[in-house]
Structure 1
Amino acid sequence: MRPPLSIRECPSPNYGDRRGAVPSLIVLHYTAMGSAAAAIARLCDPACEVSAHYVIDRDGDVTRLVADEHRAWHAGAGAWLNVTDVNSHSLGIELDNPGDAPFPEAQMLSLEALLSDLRDHWRIGPEGVIGHSDCAPGRKSDPGTHFDWARLERAGHAQPAVAGVGSSPDMERFLMAARTCGWTAEATPEDILTAVRLRHRRGATGPLGTEDMKVVGL
């Protein structure tokens, strides 16, 4: 049995009302800044008008900026499944990472512990744990190509790809299947393909292929 997760409090003024919603999604981000302290300072600056519920630094230390009951300003425009106001329906977790580096073990362990607590409390299934790139394809790419989604899937904290047979590439069919899987935000076909690959085919490039069809169930 793991010890309770220690969370430091650093309240941000950047939040609002959830507009009647409760958290059903958890959105993972990277900070793309030099340090967790710099990210926290920005997320607590009222002039920046951005925030998140939690920041996890590279040593695994967790800081809460916004209470779960409030609406943090982390996701912006986008959608996932039938949710079009992602901020009102989600919890945002920022991972201290420049965007081009692996995520340290201590950080991933704290993320898994935090996900366990949040998912238990808010009854969020693994399908509700997504990346910023999932709900805002083309506009955002975090948590990026270095994030280990397969690890979260093995731990039960993220939904695995829908295993298809690997049909012949067909962009129209691919886009319809991707929407069914959750990628409902307005974006170009190329951006949807990139978002699916960031989640299920890290490092994949080139035109739509049979492996892309497979991970959306085709």
Structure 2
Amino acid sequence: MKPDTARIDEIRPSPNHTERRLSGGPDMLILHYTGMGTGEGAVRWLCDPQSGVSCHYLVHEDGRVVQMVPDEQRAWHAGEGSWRGRGDVNSRSIGIEIVNVGHGNGYPDFPAAQIASVIELCRECVGRWPIPPEFVLAHSDIAPARKSDPGEKFPWDQLFFAGIGHFVVPAPLRGGRFFGRGDRGEPVSAYQSLLAAYGYAVPIDGVFEDTTHFATVAFQRHFRPERVDGVADASTIETLHRLLTALPRSPFDRDARAPSVA
């Protein structure tokens, strides 16, 4: 196996991959955290035929980068999920695992050396493949009810200012009307429409149920990390609307307005 970039420090081939089921190569980049005790333990697991999981790249805490699956192959990192109605994310994406023990084990900050390597690796990936900025995503974005990684401590803003991904300055926290579990009505439908337009798999039925709650949590983790509570407050809705109107290829009418939160 040959490395796909000069940035690779080690190759540890994983048998857990297949041919991509779609032509044209990957158009998504999915970032994860390992959620395991050590980076080496994560590498062994991702290379174990019994695990049924893998990724293309893993970034250790000290910045070392391991490649396990060639870009052209379908690694098994995303599981069930979708983005903008596109399923089989594994066939559409490159998966990068970032060593971090995760939410269940104290969830430490990501070291600067690690983030510097992630940025360099992501830059290589988006330069090599036709991956739009808004398709550089968290695992939690494509599977909100199942996943929380890489979480609210991951510095998406640093990636954006390095030319990777889509981001806006989050709207400040403030009071006002908000929506949460159990709320119903046209304003909830309008909010769901914005979430769906950006890419989250939510129904547009005017009922703020679990699917909408978990999508809101995922959105906050990525784009408004100051408070992650699954409540569609004014800051969350305004940040979402800013993201949509900042897209170079808006998936909805740019004249559409966010639901009132006054």
TM-score past 0.5 threshold: yes
Quick check: 1:94 aligned with 2:131?
A: no
Map 1:1-218; keep pairs closer than 5 Å. 4-21=6-23, 22-99=25-102, 100-161=107-168, 169=178, 170-184=187-201, 188-204=211-227, 205=229, 207-217=231-241, 218=258
Residue 15 to residue 206, structure 1, CA distance change in 2 (3 Å): closer
Q: Secondary structure of the residue that 1:42 maps to in structure 2?
A: helix
For 1:185 and 1:73, the matched residues in 2 are separated by 24
Q: Which stretches in structure 2 are left out of the alignment for 5+ residues?
A: 1-5, 179-186, 204-209, 242-257
Return the letter of the residue paired with 2:76: W
**Superimposed CA distance per residue, residues 157-196 of structure 1 (whole angstroms, 9 cap, x where no aligned partner):** 11014989x9954322111101111112676111111011
**Superimposed CA distance per residue, residues 42-66 of structure 1 (whole angstroms, 9 cap, x where no aligned partner):** 0000011000000000000000000
Q: Secondary structure of the residue that 1:26 maps to in structure 2?
A: strand
Percent identical among aligned pairs is 37
Which of the pair has the greater relative contact order for Cα pairs under 8 Å at 6+ separation? Answer: 1
- Comparing 198-207 with 69-78, greater Cα deviation is found at 198-207
- Comparing 54-63 with 187-196, greater Cα deviation is found at 187-196
Residue 116 to residue 207, structure 1, CA distance change in 2 (3 Å): closer
Q: Greater CA radius of gyration, 1 or 2? A: 2
- Comparing 35-44 with 199-208, greater Cα deviation is found at 199-208
Q: Secondary structure of the residue that 1:106 maps to in structure 2?
A: helix
Report the TM-score when normalising by structure 2: 0.77
Report the TM-score when normalising by structure 1: 0.92
Alignment root-mean-square deviation, CA:
2.1
For 2:168 and 2:48, the matched residues in 1 are separated by 38
